[in-house]
Amino acid sequence: MGRRSLAVVPWPDIGQWCLELHKSDGAAMERNMLRQDVSRTAVRTSADHRVPVTDRTPQEPPLRVSPGAEPAGPPDDVLQLLTPEGVRRSHADLDDWVADVGDDELAALYEDMVVVRRLDLEATALQRQGELGLWPPLLGQEAAQVGSARALRRDDFVFSSYRENAVAYCRGVDLTDLVRVWRGTTASGWDPFAVGMATPTIIIGAQTLHATGYAMGCVKDGADSVAVAYFGDGATSEGDVNEAMVFAATFRAPVVFFCQNNQFAISEPVGLVAVRPLADRAPGFGIPSLRVDGNDVLAVTAATRIALDRARRGEGPTFIEAVTYRRGPHTTSDDPTRYVDPAVAEEWCAKDPILRVERLLESRGRLTAELTAAVTEHADAAAAEMRRGCLGLEAPPPLSVFDHVYTAPTSWLERQKSQYAAYLAMFEEA
């Protein structure tokens, strides 16, 4: 794949600047990126396209507050290669980045997405059957997760939140390990170093700091590995995420900020916290951003490759906003019917990430009976393996919950432990 430099160019419609690819003028881009004078100029700076902040303010769109505020079609600023109808669109700046994704590779991405959807549904069923305490479904976000995760190298490192189970699958996390924590049999799911992915962070946004720190370490090690932080739209309002972006920008850390804008932070619609696209925020930190159709596995792959390539070449962080939709509840404890507009949900069903790849494969004569049978068989086998593994997990001794709170026990903890032991003993006596 040819290497291309990047520059900031105007973002149509909203007068902002989005990151695009340019075959030349990498040095100018670098100057623009590094010498931003935010006191005088717009957040997305380009030597040719400077707009005083005061000029832009009156054009700000009104606060978007309706749930799932994204319109039915892709907004003009959302990069797309594959339409919901399964039509492959050409994009001069993206096509090269997925030139190696032929029909076989597309079928492999399709298989991944079908398998992770099946795993996700199986885990949801396990929770409903009382076998898991909780599960955070990813239904609808398969393309965002598979497309980005499959773009990574083995030596890259992922820092995620709780919903990135498709990313974990792509990293090679054992299927039983996916559900271990949610069954409550362990405090931590897997060995991060075996798969290049830290165990999920429940503290919203905190993993972005871990990713940035790790990326700074990669530079010190002289490695060209990249750290990828996955987080949601709600997380962008957390201080941690903003602090991570400050550090990443100033230290030019090789980190990709991958934001899955699934339209909701639990029940709060993204419009409540974002008066502009989330991707607009990053340039204010000196980080170029891409806004991509998160239900388009090809566009997500291209965007992630662009970001990874920048990071490996020492150009620092990139922010990707993958515009998608959470089709299920926030977790199995949530009831989205209380806040989701069914009409909007219906619109997003039509933009299903798997269906559009199916349609493309079909139009190319590749959606054969053999392929669908093999994919279904794989998905069912994976689900059965995860279920078997889940049911085979043994509950640890109750008092082991105190084991790893601190490296060495404290008197305070010992006291709690003995109180809990006395409490448990009451049941034995009874």
Ligand X SMILES: Cc1ncc(C[n+]2csc(CCOP(=O)(O)OP(=O)(O)O)c2C)c(N)n1
Would you tell me which residues interact with ligand X (CB under 6 A)? 161, 163, 202-204, 231-235, 262, 264-266, 326, 330
- Comparing CB distances to ligand X, the nearer of 17 and 230 is 230
Sign of the C-alpha dihedral, residues 231, 233, 236, 240?
negative
Closest distance of CB 238 from ligand X, Å: 6
Per the residue annotation, which of 305, 326, 356, 359 is the catalytic one? 326
CA–CA separation, 362 vs 195, rounded Å? 34
Choose, from 171, 330, 356, 359, the residue flagged as catalytic: 330
What contacts 48, CB < 8 A, 6 or more positions away? none
Least distance (Å) from ligand X to the CB of residue 205? 7
Query: How many angstroms separate the CA atoms of 251 and 157, rounded?
Result: 18
Q: How far apart (Å, rounded) are the C-alpha atoms in residues 327 and 340?
A: 10
The DSSP symbol for 225 reads -
35 as an active site residue: the answer is no
Q: Looking at beta carbons only, is 122 or 233 nearer to ligand X?
A: 233
- List of E strands, 66-160: 157-159
Contact 265, 233 (CB under 8 A): yes
Could you give the CA distance from residue 242 to residue 236 in angstroms, rounded to a whole number? Answer: 7
Report in angstroms how near the CB of residue 180 gets to ligand X at its nearest: 19
For residue 8, the SS3 value is: strand
Considering beta carbons, is residue 156 or 233 the nearer one to ligand X? 233
Contact call for residues 66 and 269 (beta carbons, < 8 A)? yes
326 is catalytic: yes
Measured CA to CA, the distance from residue 325 to residue 262 in angstroms comes to 4
* Tokens coding 125: 């069923």
In the complex, the smallest distance separating the C-beta of residue 372 from ligand X, rounded to whole angstroms, is: 30
Q: Tell me whether residue 235 or residue 361 sits nearer to ligand X (CB atom).
A: 235
Choose, from 49, 88, 327, 339, the residue flagged as catalytic. Answer: 339
Residue nearest to ligand X (CB): 232
Q: How far apart are CA 75 and CA 197, in angstroms?
A: 32
Copy the structure tokens of residue 89. Answer: 């669109």
Closest to ligand X by CB, 254 vs 269, is 269
- Strand bridging mode 264-265 / 255-261: unpaired
Closest CB 23 distance from ligand X, rounded Å: 36
Pick the closer one to ligand X by CB: 116 or 375.
116
232 vs 277, beta carbon nearer ligand X: 232
- Which CB contacts under 8 angstroms, 24+ apart, belong to 332-335? 332/124, 332/127, 332/128, 332/132, 332/134, 332/135, 332/136, 332/137, 333/134, 334/266, 334/267
- What residue has token string 């903890």? 413
In the DSSP assignment, the letter for residue 407 is: S
- The token pair at 418 is 């003995």
Clarify whether 404 is annotated catalytic.
Answer: no
Q: Which is nearer to ligand X, 111 or 142 (CB)?
A: 142
Least distance in angstroms from the C-beta of 300 to ligand X: 16
Tell the smallest beta-carbon distance from residue 257 to ligand X (Å).
Answer: 13
Shortest distance, position 333 Cβ to ligand X, whole Å:
11
Closest residue by Cα to residue 258 from 164, 165, 353, 119: 164
Catalytically active residues, by annotation:
326, 330, 339
